[in-house]
């Protein structure tokens, strides 16, 4: 603890009201100064509650100061004490004599008080011992009864629990046997436990019907050669060549012939259309020329020669145009018409391929349906197979555990049979009764020795002797039971007598009250008087001691007062010595005066 905390703790002991709000660390610096450290150490070590001025004394001192009366200082108080010294010395001598008497009286009172306290404590101990013994016996009786009831209830609960567990084991075994009992032919289980007990005939018949329906659906919606069509390559999607060799495929050959006929019809129709258009265009051009040159021919009849020349030039141009037209008809037109005829079969081929693509999509969707159904069927079969495999593993584990349990039960049964068998055949019961106990029958010998109590080795011991010893033991037990019953009766009588005495003691100790009366009213009043006298005596002794302390302090501080005390002592104890001292002092005074 630091010095500051010690200072705060001292203030708390002295009753300073705000000491709880102070912190000891804030006052550590005061103890570091050399001037205040000694005073603070003395203050923390010596000051107690007795050094604190009470509120009443402080109030009285303040009233004295407020009244205006003079307060004596140290010197004035010392002079006043000097005037009171002769009377106080006489009183001190008388008080010393009275103190001895009071001390003797105090010792006698203390002895009587100790005697009374000893008697009271003895009575209290006897009363408490009686109460404690009765309560202990009652508590012990209650505990024993409670323990007996708890033991009986525990045994009953254990028995019921064991019976319940055995019944549960029997029911569990029966239920387990019912699970594994084989069903008769044609018999079905209402609630199968294992998967192998479930009849799958309906499920398999449904799957067969589904497979047959799927096969029929495939036959109806898939044509022959579908696999070849689906397995084809991208080379099959080329344009049909009409001049190719299509003898291998009759359908393709028929299509090629049909397309060739269409092309020939298109070419002939195109030729006719072109010729008709050319004739129509030539006729229209001739009509336009005739219409344009008719009026000119009438007005310009004089220009006949010029017209003839014009006609001749036109004939030449016409022959050139006709030759050009012939070349177009023979060379350019057939090639272009044939190219247009080749382009004629493009929509047909496109439609054919669109039809094939639509068929492919239809077949793919139907294949998806068939594949989904087949995947579901396969998943159901695999799930069923997995269930059978898991159940097979579990059944194998159960079989192994059951074999282990059966083996353990067989071993336990063999051990029990071996334990029940008598190891020595000579010890087995026979039709002829035995008289003597066999020397190898250690159990009977030990029982005989235990019952008889004789530790000496005897050569022959008979069963009749064992029976007599047992009868004697039973008689001893019966006699002990009788003695125990008698002792219980005596004990109950003593307890009842003790309870009556205890009741009488309680009536005397309480006297129709709720509180315990430790002494009689007369004794209590005497004790009260003694206590009051002791308090007065204690107060007188404290006052005397305080007066002695003040006088000793005065004697230590004043040599004159010490000399006066010695003279008073000589006056009361040795008058001769006092006279000689007074004479010597007078002679000294005369010498000093002369």
User: Model's pTM, two decimal places?
Assistant: 0.32
Tell me whether residue 359 is in a domain: yes
Query: Please, which residues bridge with residue 436 across strands?
Result: 462
Whether residue 213 sits in one domain with residue 147: no
Whether residue 446 sits in one domain with residue 570: no
What's the CA gap between 405 and 419, in Å, rounded? 21
The tally of CA atoms less than 13 A away on the side-chain side of residue 105 is 13
CA 377 to chain centre: 49
Tell me whether residue 143 is in a domain: yes
What's the CA gap between 202 and 196, in Å, rounded? 15
Whether residue 332 sits in one domain with residue 208: yes
Tell me whether residue 216 is in a domain: yes
What's the CA gap between 484 and 452, in Å, rounded? 23
Tell me whether residue 40 is in a domain: yes
Whether residue 11 sits in one domain with residue 32: yes
Whether residue 525 sits in one domain with residue 377: no
Tell me whether residue 491 is in a domain: yes
Whether residue 328 sits in one domain with residue 218: yes
Tell me whether residue 564 is in a domain: yes
Q: Give the model's pLDDT for residue 217.
A: 81
pLDDT in tens, the chain (594 residues): 678 788 888 888 887 777 788 877 777 777 776 667 777 788 887 787 777 777 787 787 777 777 766 666 666 666 655 665 544 444 455 456 566 777 777 777 777 777 777 777 777 777 777 777 777 778 888 888 888 889 888 888 988 888 888 788 888 878 877 777 665 555 555 667 777 777 788 888 888 888 888 888 888 776 544 544 444 444 444 444 444 454 556 777 777 777 777 777 777 777 788 778 878 887 887 788 777 766 665 555 556 677 677 777 777 777 787 787 777 777 777 777 777 766 766 777 787 788 888 888 888 888 888 888 888 888 888 988 898 899 889 888 988 988 998 899 889 888 878 877 755 555 555 555 667 777 777 777 777 777 776 655 666 778 788 888 888 888 888 888 888 888 888 888 888 888 887 787 777 766 666 665 666 667 677 778 888 888 888 888 888 888 888 888 888 888 888 877 777 777 777 778 878 888 887 888 888 776
CA quadruple 472, 477, 481, 484: dihedral sign: positive
Whether residue 493 sits in one domain with residue 556: no
What's the CA gap between 331 and 325, in Å, rounded? 10
Whether residue 230 sits in one domain with residue 288: yes
Whether residue 552 sits in one domain with residue 478: no
Q: Which domain holds residue 7?
A: 1-57
Tell me whether residue 162 is in a domain: no
What's the CA gap between 116 and 527, in Å, rounded? 9
Tell me whether residue 282 is in a domain: yes
Whether residue 123 sits in one domain with residue 111: yes
Q: Give the model's pLDDT for residue 230.
A: 47
Q: Which of 57, 83, 105 is the last residue of a domain?
A: 57
Check: CB of residue 371 under 8 Å from CB of residue 297.
Answer: no
Q: In terms of Cα–Cα distance, which of 442, 480, 484, 476 is closest to 461?
A: 442
């Amino acid at each position: 603890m630091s010095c500051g905390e010690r200072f705060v703790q001292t203030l708390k002991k002295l009753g300073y009201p705000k000491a709880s709000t102070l912190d000891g660390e804030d006052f550590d610096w005061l103890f570091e100064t050399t001037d205040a450290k000694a005073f603070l150490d003395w203050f923390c070590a010596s000051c107690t509650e007795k050094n604190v001025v009470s509120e009443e004394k402080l109030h009285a001192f303040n009233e004295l100061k407020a009244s205006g009366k003079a307060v004596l200082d140290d010197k004035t108080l010392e002079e006043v004490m000097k005037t009171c010294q002769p009377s106080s010395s006489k009183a001190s001598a008388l008080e010393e004599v009275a103190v001895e008497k009071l001390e003797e009286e105090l010792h006698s009172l203390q002895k009587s008080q100790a005697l009374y306290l000893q008697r009271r404590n003895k009575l209290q101990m006897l009363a408490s011992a009686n109460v404690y013994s009765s309560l202990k016996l009652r508590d012990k009786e209650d505990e024993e009864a409670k323990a007996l009831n708890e033991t009986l209830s525990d045994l009953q609960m254990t028995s019921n629990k064991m019976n319940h567990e055995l019944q549960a084991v029997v029911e569990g075994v029966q239920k387990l046997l019912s699970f594994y009992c084989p069903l008769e032919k044609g018999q079905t289980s209402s609630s199968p436990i294992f998967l192998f007990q479930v009849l799958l005939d309906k499920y398999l018949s449904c799957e067969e019907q589904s497979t047959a329906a799927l096969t029929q659906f495939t036959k109806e919606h898939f044509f022959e050669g579908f696999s070849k069509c689906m397995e084809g390559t991208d080379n099959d999607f080329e344009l049909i060549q009409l001049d190719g060799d299509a003898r291998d495929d009759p359908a393709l050959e028929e299509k090629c012939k049909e397309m060739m006929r269409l092309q020939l019809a298109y070419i002939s129709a195109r030729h006719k259309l072109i010729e008709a258009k050319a004739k129509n265009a030539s006729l229209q051009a001739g009509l336009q020329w005739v219409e344009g040159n008719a009026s000119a021919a009438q007005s310009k009849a004089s220009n006949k020669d010029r017209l003839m020349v014009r006609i001749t030039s036109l004939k030449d141009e016409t022959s050139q145009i006709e030759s050009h037209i012939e070349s177009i008809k023979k060379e350019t037109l057939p090639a272009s018409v044939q190219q247009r005829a080749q382009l004629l079969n493009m929509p047909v081929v496109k439609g054919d391929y669109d039809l094939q693509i639509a068929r492919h999509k239809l077949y793919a969707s139907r294949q998806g349906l068939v594949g989904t159904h087949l995947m579901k069927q396969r998943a159901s079969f695999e799930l069923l197979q997995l269930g059978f495999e898991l159940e097979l593993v579990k059944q194998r584990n159960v079989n192994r555990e059951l074999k282990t349990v059966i083996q353990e039960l067989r071993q336990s049964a063999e051990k029990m049979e071996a334990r029940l068998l008598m190891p020595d055949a000579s010890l087995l019961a026979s039709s002829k009764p035995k008289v003597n106990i066999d020397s190898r029958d250690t159990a009977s010998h030990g029982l005989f020795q235990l019952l008889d109590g004789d530790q000496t080795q005897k050569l022959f011991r008979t069963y009749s002797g064992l029976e007599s010893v047992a009868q004697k033991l039973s008689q001893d037990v019966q006699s002990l039971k009788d003695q125990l019953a008698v002792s219980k009766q005596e004990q109950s009588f003593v307890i009842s007598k003790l309870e009556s005495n205890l009741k009488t003691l309680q009536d005397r100790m309480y006297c129709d009250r709720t509180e315990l009366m430790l002494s009689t009213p007369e004794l209590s009043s005497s004790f009260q008087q003694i206590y009051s006298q002791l308090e007065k005596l204690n107060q007188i002794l404290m006052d005397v001691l305080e007066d002695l302390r003040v006088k000793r302090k005065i004697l230590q501080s004043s040599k004159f007062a010490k000399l006066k005390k010695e003279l008073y002592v000589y006056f009361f104890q040795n008058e001769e010595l006092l006279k000689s001292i007074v004479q010597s002092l007078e002679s000294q005074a005369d010498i000093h005066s002369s």
